[in-house]
A = this chain, B = another copy of it.
Amino acid sequence: MNKEIPPDFKVPGFLASGISAGIKKNQEKDLALIYSAAPSLAAGVFTTNRVKAAPVLISMERIKSGRARAILINSGSANACTGKKGLADGRRLSRLIASSLNIDQESVLLASTGVIGKPLPMNLMENNLPLLLASLSPDGLGDAARAIVTTDTFPKGAIIRKQANGQEITLAGIAKGAGMISPKMATLLSFVLTDAFISPKALRQSLKEGVRGSFNRVTVDGDMSTNDTLLILANGEARNREIVPDTPGYKKFSGLLHELLFSLAQKIASDGEGATKLVEIVVERARTAFEAEQVARAVATSPLVKTAFFGEDANWGRILCAAGYSGAPINPEKIDVYFDDVAIVRRGQGAGSIMEQQATSVMKKREYTVRINLNRGKQKTSIFTTDFSYDYVKINASYRS
């Protein structure tokens, strides 16, 4: 897992910047701007939480046009549960950005992350917009990645350059979040830029499919914070033949986009707050995809399973127990469990102390797989989770102070 921002981290036609506006303490970067020099297509995926932050409400409305020119992002304050003032603040900031860039206010998208319930520090932000705008640069995407983090221990960026429909296209993305450990509430933000020439429908469809195989795989219920936002902008600068749905070009583009999203999602998973382990939970031979999902999520979110991962304790009973309460109509006497290749449970019973010792060795690794074979059908799923450590409690007990 590469924890550095990649070299040559830029996409033709896009500028970005990230600065410290004083929203966070210690002069950390906390304000980012992404700008497309040309008109650009846009698509997005947003939180399903009933409580939606002001920037989410604004961006959901604006992205209906399928187009956007800029994204303003801040960390340190979520602008959630801030009522009419929150919406007015968001709109005001986008108006100021739009007027400086001479673009339509409706083409500015917004995202925020940080503490819920505090109004944005508008003075600080407005005073720093000129610096933010002046810092826009083709090389600014790394700074933007640094400005959007909260409890992350490293900034997250990934880039892919490949041929598609006759031209080299570039896809670059940044992300923030430490979603695995706080399964339902850590905010996930991600912004993807591409110069591919693609139809609006193909862009929306590919993004939607990509989320399923990436962020929804590694951030358990990660779509549940008030602020979760994933946006993609496509400016067509690569001048490839247009990518449209259900063609080889679409398949190619989707493969690249999904690879990028999966890479970002894995960085998030491995940066779970205080996490020391990255564990893939594979559920196989389920009768339905839904029951595979039920079992995988029950195991991946069980506090007792996660503390056992931290303690490197091959306590497979907790895994069976979680499978048992998952709601899936499993037959416990048919279940096999593997830690990597070590069969620790056979037909619902422990495989003995030698296997347990071997499983304990597997658990000493930083990354491994727990495979649960339900022996009921043909469906399979997988999900990434992390352990529950002392540091998790420490980080989250005092996050605001």
Hey, which bits of chain A sit against chain B, CB under 8 A? 48-52, 78, 80-83, 115-118, 181-186, 221, 224-226, 298, 302-304, 307-308, 310-311, 313, 315-318, 320-325, 328-333, 345, 347-350, 388-390, 392-394, 396-401
Contacting pair B396 A393 (CB below 8 A): no
Which residue of chain B has its CB nearest to the CB of A323? Answer: B51
Q: How far is the CB of A178 from chain B (nearest CB, A)?
A: 12
Q: List 20 A-B contacts (CB under 8 A).
A: A50-B323, A50-B330, A50-B332, A51-B321, A51-B324, A51-B348, A52-B324, A80-B321, A81-B345, A116-B320, A118-B350, A183-B303, A185-B318, A186-B304, A221-B325, A224-B325, A303-B303, A307-B392, A313-B397, A313-B399
Contacting pair A394 B400 (CB below 8 A): no
Q: How far is the CB of A391 from chain B (nearest CB, A)?
A: 9
Q: How far is the CB of A216 from chain B (nearest CB, A)?
A: 14
Residues in chain B near residue A184, CB distance under 8 A: 298, 302-304, 321-322, 325
Contacting pair B117 A316 (CB below 8 A): yes
With A184-B322, A317-B78, A318-B185 as contacts: A396 and B221 at CB distance below 8 Å: no
Contacting pair A349 B117 (CB below 8 A): yes
With most chain B CB atoms within 10 A of its CB, the pick from A52, A117, A394 is A117
CB-contact partner of A388 in B322, B393, B400, under 8 A: B393
Q: How far is the CB of A390 from chain B (nearest CB, A)?
A: 5
Residues in chain B near residue A51, CB distance under 8 A: 320-321, 323-324, 332, 348
Q: How far is the CB of A225 from chain B (nearest CB, A)?
A: 6
Which residue of chain B has its CB nearest to the CB of A221? Answer: B325
Residues in chain B near residue A182, CB distance under 8 A: 303-304
Give the 6 A-B CB pairs with smallest separation, nearest first: A116-B317, A311-B397, A51-B324, A307-B396, A224-B325, A49-B324
Q: How far is the CB of A125 from chain B (nearest CB, A)?
A: 19
Q: Report the separation of the CA atoms of residues A225 and B330 in the bound assembly, to the nearest whole angstrom.
A: 15
Contacting pair B302 A401 (CB below 8 A): no
Q: Report the separation of the CA atoms of residues A304 and B185 in the bound assembly, to the nearest whole angstrom.
A: 7
Q: Report the separation of the CA atoms of residues A221 and B332 in the bound assembly, to the nearest whole angstrom.
A: 20
CB-contact partner of A332 in B81, B330, B345, B347, under 8 A: B81
Contacting pair A81 B225 (CB below 8 A): no
Q: Report the separation of the CA atoms of residues A120 and B316 in the bound assembly, to the nearest whole angstrom.
A: 17
Q: How far is the CB of A224 from chain B (nearest CB, A)?
A: 4
Contacting pair A348 B83 (CB below 8 A): yes
Contacting pair B302 A348 (CB below 8 A): no
Residues in chain B near residue A316, CB distance under 8 A: 116-117
Q: Report the separation of the CA atoms of residues A392 and B394 in the bound assembly, to the nearest whole angstrom.
A: 12
Q: Report the separation of the CA atoms of residues A48 and B331 in the bound assembly, to the nearest whole angstrom.
A: 14
Contacting pair A394 B399 (CB below 8 A): no
With most chain B CB atoms within 10 A of its CB, the pick from A221, A224, A318, A321 is A321
Which residue of chain B has its CB nearest to the CB of A332? Answer: B51
Contacts A49-B324, A52-B324, A81-B350 supplied; 12 other A-B pairs, CB < 8 Å: A49-B325, A50-B331, A51-B332, A81-B345, A83-B333, A116-B315, A117-B316, A117-B350, A224-B321, A307-B393, A311-B399, A315-B399
Q: How far is the CB of A370 from chain B (nearest CB, A)?
A: 15
Q: How far is the CB of A379 from chain B (nearest CB, A)?
A: 18
Q: Report the separation of the CA atoms of residues A400 and B313 in the bound assembly, to the nearest whole angstrom.
A: 8
Q: How far is the CB of A194 from chain B (nearest CB, A)?
A: 31
Q: Report the separation of the CA atoms of residues A107 and B107 in the bound assembly, to the nearest whole angstrom.
A: 75
Q: How far is the CB of A277 from chain B (nearest CB, A)?
A: 11
Q: Report the separation of the CA atoms of residues A272 and B145 in the bound assembly, to the nearest whole angstrom.
A: 40
